[in-house]
């Protein structure tokens, strides 16, 4: 019997690779927010304008207050990626949950949130299509029909 791996499902494998790339970007985000707080790099929020004033103000004056949010999403994406590559169901569900929350919060970080919304949507679609495969929505039970 052939052992099933995540590579056997092209959609789940593509979602896993995408989640790995997304995890790496989240790690970079987490490092950038620390570097901004330590004034080792310029505060990008002075150049990038967001539509929610409190987010803008926090990024300008106290970027570390938002760091736990960045770190939580980074942790969820890394754990999801590990679970996906190991073909474990908890990796799938952590990914679904983190992507859904990210999509809901992406509106706060407009206009750049649109890119996150797009990336999350693509990965979410790949995960769901890969999980469902070619299963029909409704299944006909043969015992209900008489020949």
The angle, 0 to 180 degrees and rounded to 10, between the axes of the packed helices 10-37 and 89-105 is 50
pLDDT digits (tens, 9 = 90+) for 80-123: 999 999 999 999 999 999 999 999 988 877 777 788 899 999 99
Residues 86-104: b if buried by 16+ CB within 10 A, e if exposed: ebeeebbebbbebbeebbe
> Does the residue 146 lie in any domain?
no
Domain range holding 110? 8-133
Domains in the chain, number: 1
Asked whether residue 74 is domain-assigned, the answer is yes
Helices (H), the chain: 10-37, 53-61, 67-85, 89-105, 113-132
12 is a domain residue: yes
Q: Please determine, for residue 15, whether its predicted confidence score (pLDDT) is greater than 90.
A: yes
Q: What is the pLDDT of residues 16-50, one digit of tens each?
A: 999 999 999 889 888 888 888 888 887 766 666 66
pTM for the full predicted model: 0.79
141 lies in a domain? no
Residue 33 within a domain: yes
């Amino acid at each position: 019997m052939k052992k099933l791996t995540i590579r056997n499902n092209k959609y789940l494998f593509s979602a896993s690779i995408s989640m790995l790339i997304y995890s790496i970007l989240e790690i970079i985000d987490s490092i950038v927010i620390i570097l901004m707080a330590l004034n080792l790099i310029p505060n990008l929020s002075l150049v990038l304008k967001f539509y929610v004033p409190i987010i803008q103000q926090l990024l300008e004056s106290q970027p570390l207050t938002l760091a736990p949010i960045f770190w939580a999403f980074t942790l969820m994406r890394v754990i999801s990626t590990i679970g996906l590559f190991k073909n474990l169901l908890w990796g799938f569900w952590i990914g679904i949950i983190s992507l859904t929350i990210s999509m809901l919060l992406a509106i706060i970080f407009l206009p750049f949130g649109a890119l996150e919304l797009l990336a999350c949507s693509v990965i979410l679609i790949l995960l769901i299509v890969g999980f469902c495969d070619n299963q029909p929505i409704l299944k006909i039970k043969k015992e209900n029909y008489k020949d």
